[in-house]
Structure 1
Amino acid sequence: MSSLENILYFQSALGFLANMVLLLFFIFIILDHRPKPMDLISFQLTFVHIMMFLIGGNSWLADIFESLNIKNDIKCKVTFYSSRVMRGLSICITCLLSVAQAVTISPSTSLLAKFKQKHKKYIINALFYIWILNLSVSSDMMFYVVGFTNVSETKQMQVTKSCSLLPMSSIIRGLNFTLSTSRDVFLVAVMLTTSTYMVNILHRHQRKLKHLHSISHLRASPEKRATQTILLLVLVFVVMYWVDIIISLTSFLLWMYDPVILTIQKFVIYAYPTITPLVKISSDKRIINVLKSLQSKCHQIF
């Protein structure tokens, strides 16, 4: 068990630091330049992933609650609610990222082309409604989260070392799981649809360039690199999402808690927030240029 926890700690540290680097990059872009619409989405997604690592670690929140003499029940409700909100935001914003990129690379003759003119406005509005939706939808389970007492006597299901879920009827349990899963499955379906659409566009564009230039190896454009990055992120998200769903479905419907399974599930949940900034940093040349310019400025100062 200790080895699994050490791997989880390393993953969390790596993911948090990588997301912080990416967040600083987006802040630099927003303050010093005119950000692209996709940068606004990526900025939000990076912030959400940082919050996921902070809330998932839970130690800093525990210290705050302990210093304020706040009951364990309130601590559990706040952390559980915040965790659900951030996980919901992660899937919604990833879906928006996929849709926005599909609009960006869509040809002028397609139906999506009409959204290009007010692309930034639509994205800002979508981000606003995504936050409102997740802050509202994720509040239902707060009534069932309490501080951990004695599972054998109260039939609670322990979900962390200090928190547990109160028993609920099979109807409410199934309804909650069905509603949350239906939302996620719909968003995953949208991501897969837009990904298929983007792959088709890239394939047709590649064939057209090869026909015009008669070259087997062509240099990828920034739009193509960005699209390939998002396709990779969507693939990683979908795979990790379904693994998480299988684990959650087994634990929730069978009302079963296992510390080892919980640790593995956390590793799966944090895999996407860890991989995302690493892929973005390695694929976006602007980040390398910004880091080089910051390095040169530091050398001038010191």
Structure 2
Amino acid sequence: MENSDIVISVIFLSQTVVGILGNSFLVYHYLMLYYMGCRLKFTDWILQHLIVANFLTLLCKGIPHTVSAFGLKNFLDDIGCKLIFYLHRIGRGVSISSTCFLSVFQAITLSPSASRWTQLKAKSPSYIASCVYMSWALSFLVNIAFPMYMRARQNNRNITRLRVYDICSTVHHDEVCDIISAVLLSIPDVVFMVLMLWSSGYMVCILYRHKQRMKHIHRSTFSFRSSAEFRATKSILLLVSTFVFFYTISCLFQINMALFHNPTSLWVNMASVVTACFPTVSPFLVISS
């Protein structure tokens, strides 16, 4: 193995181990709360879906690329490539939708009582719960076409029609079909990102107004509740901003890789490292808050 391969393998292994340990700690935490009979917040329920999505991403992205970085390239057959890539796409879709719903729900909860969102406060848990389950179904349906184009590396005989990646390859169509499919698959992600950015901006405005108001109020009967809500809002904003940061970098890598017929292993590995960053970091952001 070359020095660069050793570095990449250590990075993949560290990300996978740290991410699985962090998410496992959150699973243990929620299990203990469940057995103790504690009543969880609705945001905790959304976070549980995010944890499942993190596990799918780490197991389907981190472990195969870790094995590949240690030198074992052709260890997956066609079925393995199809399954690994499909589950990773599902985890990715649920991750962005769960983060979006977490931001939207907190924005509705934080909205002033005199705002137009007052009627939604009581009904928002049932609405968002339905949306979370629908996001799982949407991820299963939208990504159903991906397994049909995945192939194992050892079966790459007609190299002109295959785009070769690190552990698998995809069937390469003409550029028009690739662009159309990429646009259609990006529509749900764009919608979730717009909702996420809108709700985050709305919460930032509320936090700013609250800060300006509190400058003139030294003591208040609702200060404790208000501070607790705003601490939760700041932690969710931190989680959302972290997701947007890593998601944007990942999209830039994916666009760059799509422009080349056979991207280099360096670009593939860097894209995989960035993709696994949020599932690795997010549980520790939740733990710290």
TM (norm. structure 1) is 0.84
Partners of 1:113 and 1:230 lie apart in 2 by: 21
List alignment gaps of at least 5 residues for structure 2.
68-74
Q: Deviation per CA, 1:245-266, whole angstroms, max 9, x where unpaired?
A: 1111111232232111111111
Question: What is the aligned partner in structure 2 of residue 17 from structure 1?
Answer: 21
State the identity %.
Answer: 31
Is 2:274 aligned against 1:263? no
Q: Matched residue of 2:172: which SS?
A: coil
1:19/1:73 Cα in 2 relative to 1: closer, same or farther (>3 Å)? Answer: same
Q: 1:197-208 residue pairs with structure 2 within 5 A?
A: 197-208=202-213
Question: What is the aligned partner in structure 2 of residue 4 from structure 1?
Answer: 8
Over the residues paired in the alignment, what is the CA RMSD in angstroms? 2.3
Q: Matched residue of 1:160: which SS?
A: coil
Please identify, of 175-184 and 130-139, the stretch whose mean Cα deviation from structure 2 is larger.
175-184
Is 2:15 aligned against 1:40? no
1:71/1:210 Cα in 2 relative to 1: closer, same or farther (>3 Å)? Answer: closer
2:25 maps to amino acid: V
Question: Which of 222, 226, 233 is equivalent to 1:227?
Answer: 233
Q: Matched residue of 1:116: which SS?
A: helix
Question: What is the aligned partner in structure 2 of residue 140 from structure 1?
Answer: 145
Q: Matched residue of 2:169: which SS?
A: strand
Q: Deviation per CA, 1:53-109, whole angstroms, max 9, x where unpaired?
A: 1112445xx9xxxxxxx9811111111111111111111111111101101111111
Q: Matched residue of 2:114: which SS?
A: coil
Q: 1:52-201 residue pairs with structure 2 within 5 A?
A: 52-58=57-63, 72-148=77-153, 149-150=155-156, 153-161=159-167, 163-201=168-206
Q: 1:234-245 residue pairs with structure 2 within 5 A?
A: 234-245=240-251
Q: Matched residue of 2:262: which SS?
A: coil
2:93 maps to amino acid: G
Conserved 8 A contact 1:151-1:157: no
Conserved 8 A contact 1:103-1:116: yes
Conserved 8 A contact 2:97-2:192: yes
Partners of 1:71 and 1:53 lie apart in 2 by: 17
Question: What is the aligned partner in structure 1 of residue 71 from structure 2?
Answer: none
TM (norm. structure 2) is 0.87
Q: Matched residue of 1:165: which SS?
A: strand
Q: Matched residue of 1:164: which SS?
A: strand
Conserved 8 A contact 2:61-2:276: no
Q: Matched residue of 1:157: which SS?
A: strand
Q: Matched residue of 1:213: which SS?
A: coil
Q: Deviation per CA, 1:24-78, whole angstroms, max 9, x where unpaired?
A: 212333442222111110111012101211112445xx9xxxxxxx981111111
Partners of 1:27 and 1:51 lie apart in 2 by: 19
List alignment gaps of at least 5 residues for structure 1.
63-69, 284-302
